[in-house]
Amino acid sequence: MNVADSEVVVSILTDQGYCHTGDIKEAELILINTCSIRENAEQRIRGRLKAIGHLKKGNDKLVIGLIGCMAERLKEKILEEENLVDMVVGPDAYRQLPSLINEAESGHKAVNVLLSREETYADIPPVRLDKNGVTSFVSIMRGCNNMCAYCVVPYVRGAERSRNPESILNEVKDLLNKGYREVTLLGQNVDSFRWEENNHLTDFPLLLEKVALISPSLRVRFSTSHPKDISDDLLKTMARHNNICKHLHLPVQSGSSRILKLMNREYSSEWYTDRIKAVRSIIPGCSVSTDIIAGFCTEREEDHQATLALMEWAGFDFAYMFRYSERPGTKAARKYKDDVPDEIKTKRLNEIIALQNKLSSRSKKQDVGRIFEVLIEDFSKRSQDHLSGRTSQNKVAVFPGEGHKKGDYVNVLVERCTSATLIGKMV
């Protein structure tokens, strides 16, 4: 989401005559796009500010701005804490960047952290910052209306709003014309995408179908689905179109229904397992990845064991795994005690990671001997003789190149695998 936002920011500034540089020493304006989701994300930003501090010495013209979620969360306070920062801009105020930069250039600290109920930047064509020219993100909605007890997103990104579908379809067509072969539709809860116009409702399955119909040579992915909202209609849409990738990111967070209730996730572990059964029966061969939080408030050993059991049962192909990090202002911070000791959080997280490593390895081993269509994204990191791409199931495959290039689809027979990669040959 932050990459997609940075691309909007670069577009707004390009219109003002700025150009984007890959060399920080050359920059006259440095904008740090920030994340507040866990405390360590914010610590990293503070570390980054320290690391670039020397650039200001001998360059009085340099303007440093903090943009995004951390700007929204800390507002003016960050100016007192970090005197390197000249400008603080929240995620809904990027259109005001040119005037805020002027203000900062004239020596005043500039701040705009107003959240909006309408802003989707639908009319701003993002300037792509990706390196491969094959895969790209397309933001389809902003904000979030769910109030998961641990999560800061609704506070820093505001209420949920969907983007006009026509502008989404135009952006995807433009990407296709520029040679892109894969788009990932982005939103905090894509299942609640809704756009009503002339008594006609576009929901997420319909939007996804329209994007898929643009061209069979364009792959479509999306993230993130919410287990409480994901419908059979969506799963059937995925099954109907070859170019909608057979991969679902469905964050479970915990395997304990008691913890899920405290988290305000609005589903139980039984509901989640039922949804996975629906995925398996409607889209055979679909991979599933997830997010898991270890050590949420009041979590006991039996809750943790329920998480491990659910992971084992679901056989997740991949997972993002986190220690619970209390975020100021959230319901959990206000109402519950962060009472799982640090060493227990770490122990549980390590057990979750160890199990996931085993499951990820198993999932790759099951692919050995099978043939997958792979979209080539780049050379392999290790060798220019090998190409690298992903299967529809979102697994990285590496194989000898033989005259193919980025953006081509090839069939690859998987001969072996490492814990992270499928290795094979074209057939």
Note the residues at the interface with ligand SF4 (CB under 6 A).
144, 146, 148, 151, 153-154, 188-189, 226
Task: Choose the contact partner of 325 out of ligand SAM, ligand SF4, none; CB within 5 to 8 A by kind.
Answer: ligand SAM
Q: What angle do CA 184, 185, 186 make, to 5 degrees?
A: 110
Task: Choose the contact partner of 207 out of ligand SF4, ligand SAM, none; CB within 5 to 8 A by kind.
Answer: none
3-state secondary structure of 331: helix
DSSP 192-232: G-EEEETTEEEEHHHHHHHHHTT-TTSEEEEE---TTT--H
Site string (213-232) toward ligand SAM, x via CB under 6 A? -----------x-x------
Measured CA to CA, the distance from residue 2 to residue 300 in angstroms comes to 34
253: left (phi over 0), alpha (psi -120 to 50) or beta: left
74 vs 141, beta carbon nearer ligand SF4: 141
Q: Is 251 in the site for ligand SAM (CB under 6 A)?
A: yes
Measured CA to CA, the distance from residue 356 to residue 352 in angstroms comes to 6
User: Which of 50-58, 60-68, 322-330, 351-359 is the region at the interface with ligand SAM (rule: CB under 6 A)?
Assistant: 322-330
Beta strands 287-294; 318-323: pairing state: parallel
Q: Is 267 in the site for ligand SAM (CB under 6 A)?
A: no
Q: Is 94 in the site for ligand SAM (CB under 6 A)?
A: no
Measured CA to CA, the distance from residue 261 to residue 302 in angstroms comes to 15
Q: Is 189 in the site for ligand SAM (CB under 6 A)?
A: yes
Say if CB 417 and CB 368 are below 8 A apart: yes
Measured CA to CA, the distance from residue 254 to residue 275 in angstroms comes to 15
Structure tokens at 391: 């299967």
Amino acid (1-letter code) at residue 360: S
Q: How far is the CB of 269 from ligand SF4 (least distance, A)?
A: 17
Q: Is 399 in the site for ligand SAM (CB under 6 A)?
A: no
| Chain position carrying tokens 């997958």 | 372
Q: How far is the CB of 92 from ligand SAM (least distance, A)?
A: 17
User: Which of 18-26, 76-84, 168-176, 317-325 is the region at the interface with ligand SAM (rule: CB under 6 A)?
Assistant: 317-325
Structure tokens at 317: 């192909």
Q: How far is the CB of 115 from ligand SAM (least distance, A)?
A: 17
Task: Choose the contact partner of 324 out of ligand SF4, ligand SAM, none; CB within 5 to 8 A by kind.
Answer: ligand SAM
Say if CB 124 and CB 174 are below 8 A apart: no
Task: Choose the contact partner of 154 out of ligand SAM, ligand SF4, none; CB within 5 to 8 A by kind.
Answer: ligand SF4
Residue of 203, 291, 373, 408 interacting with ligand SAM (CB under 6 A): 291
Q: What angle do CA 141, 8, 164 make, to 5 degrees?
A: 35
Say if CB 284 and CB 245 are below 8 A apart: no
73 vs 364, beta carbon nearer ligand SAM: 73
Q: How far is the CB of 261 from ligand SF4 (least distance, A)?
A: 14
307 vs 388, beta carbon nearer ligand SF4: 307
Task: Choose the contact partner of 96 out of ligand SAM, ligand SF4, none; CB within 5 to 8 A by kind.
Answer: none
Q: Is 276 in the site for ligand SAM (CB under 6 A)?
A: no
Beta strands 200-203; 110-112: pairing state: unpaired
Q: Is 253 in the site for ligand SAM (CB under 6 A)?
A: yes
Measured CA to CA, the distance from residue 296 to residue 262 in angstroms comes to 9
Structure tokens at 233: 């209609």
Total site size for ligand SAM, rule CB under 6 A? 17
For ligand SAM, the binding residues (CB under 6 A) are 37-38, 150-151, 153, 188-189, 224, 226, 251, 253, 291, 293, 322, 324-325, 327
